[in-house]
Amino acid sequence: MNQFDEKKSLLSSFRVQCFLRILLLALTISVLAWLVVATTLYATMVILFLFCTGQIWALVHFVEQTNRHLVRFLESVKYGDTVNISTSGRLGGSFRELTSAFGAVVEDFERIRREKEEQYLALQTILHHVSIGLLSFDDDGIIDFINPAARRLLGITHIRSLQQLGASYKPLLLAFDALANEGKALVKLVLNDEILQLTLVSTRFRQRGRELTLVSLQNIVSELEEQEIAAWQKLIRVLTHEIMNSVAPITSLAQTMSGMLENDFPTEQGEQTELVSDIRHAISTIARRSEGLLAFVENYRKLSRIPEPDFAVVRVDDLFARVERLFAVQLSDRHINFARAVEPINLEIIGDGALLEQVFINLVQNAIHAIAAHPSLSSQIRLSAAQSPTGRITIDVQDTGTGILPEAIDKIFVPFFTTKPDGSGIGLSFARQVLRKHGATMTVTSELGIGTTFHIRF
């Protein structure tokens, strides 16, 4: 710093400026007093008086700069702006320290505010992308927050209060009332022919003076189905293993004894002929039934050995066309109209074409049997596929058959359960397991005498 800068810094000091202003004011007052006592220059007196008043006002204004700096600092804290005390450089070292302290505090406030904004944005991002539905509402049922996962799960778009939910959501509203305090609940909903098993977990918190309830919603249908399928597969493996181990020796022994009879009793004479004939017939029956039981067990072992899908792009309309060609003769012989509708026509899904084709073969075969038990002039099987605005694909297999009894509709996916005298009870269970491997679900709606519809959602 050169000599000129040092003099400039000295003159800009707050103390020096106060001293010079007071000194000038004292001189002005002294001159004004001398004029009043020793002269009659009234005009000069008036001018000096006004000049003296101006100096006093300027001195007070200059001294009050500290208050103005403090006010600007507090306002900057209030509104989140960075304080800028432009006069700090010409007020001396003490004011530079004050400005520096003010600036440090405001920077801390600004940093904390930025961190809170970043945390808020991060939390909002997490809440909007988490797969679990989240819903918060106050004691009056006014919704404070609902994330996209909850909207997709409940099939709603714009909603402001719980009272806007329709009659289909009544079990959910009752559960919300029961969860006034923290707790858990399991709710079953049927929305657009889709069954939802929702597990609810709630907690209470306070925000902006309002008591809010936060509820998480998670559809556990797929988890329940997966556990159910795993349990059935385990049971099938155990049963088939034990049955195979027990029946195989019986079959082998029956075949051995039959051969021994052929060798030891080649001819049949008298009473011995009747006895040998009965034994041979009994052994033959044992062997035949044992072989039938082995074939039966082997058939059910397929349920626990479904191959993993070989995923590829499958055009839905082509899939429907292949199924129609396979049943063309049966449909014609039974005078059943087969209709298919795909919207858009080029709709595609990702899956194993062969496994999915087998699923629709089973469903169409069941539909043909249902119509055969309830024939009419308007017998029809309809396959339709559409894509929702959210991108979810729904495929319906509809028939005008006899329908399913209400007491049986919850059991049709259970392995070995069948409503047909000659049914095996594995077709629908197989279809459900294949769809499960594709990340799809299958539900059913039916009305006696009208028909049945299987809903598949990818």
> Which pair of tokens denotes residue 192?
């657009």
Q: Is the pLDDT of residue 10 over 50?
A: no
Q: Is the pLDDT of residue 173 over 60?
A: yes
Q: Is the pLDDT of residue 383 over 90?
A: yes
- For residue 198, count other CB atoms closer than 10 A to its CB: 22
**Tens digits of residue pLDDT in 386-426:** 987 767 889 999 998 888 888 887 777 776 666 665 655 67
DSSP string, 285-313: HHHHHHHHHHHHHHHHHGGG-PPPP--EE
**Tens digits of residue pLDDT in 246-275:** 666 777 777 777 777 666 666 555 445 666
| Inter-residue contact 355 to 441 (CB < 8 Å) | no
**Tens digits of residue pLDDT in 411-421:** 777 766 666 65
Q: Is the pLDDT of residue 3 over 60?
A: no
> Which pair of tokens denotes residue 87?
């006069």
Q: Is the pLDDT of residue 375 over 80?
A: no
pTM summary value = 0.51
pLDDT recorded at residue 85:
46
* Length in residues, the chain: 458
| Inter-residue contact 293 to 336 (CB < 8 Å) | no
Q: Between β-strands 380-387 and 393-399, what pairing exists: parallel, antiparallel or unpaired?
A: antiparallel
Q: Where are the domains of the chain?
A: 3-107, 131-219, 224-304, 312-457
Buried b (16+ CB within 10 A) or exposed e, 82-119: ebebeebeebbeebeebbeebbeebeebeeeeeeeeee
> Which pair of tokens denotes residue 82?
């960075």
131-219 to CATH, choices 3.30.200.20, 3.30.450.20, 3.30.1520.10, 2.40.50.100: 3.30.450.20
**Tens digits of residue pLDDT in 313-344:** 999 999 999 999 888 888 888 888 999 999 88
Query: Which tops the pLDDT comparison, 73 or 12?
Result: 73
How far is it, in rounded angstroms, from Cα 260 to Cα 256? 6
* Residue where the block lists tokens 């004050």: 98
How far is it, in rounded angstroms, from Cα 137 to Cα 33? 78
312-457 to CATH, choices 3.30.565.10, 3.40.50.300, 3.90.650.10, 3.40.50.2300: 3.30.565.10
State phi, psi for 248 to the nearest 5 degrees.
-55, -45
**Tens digits of residue pLDDT in 65-83:** 767 766 776 676 666 565 4
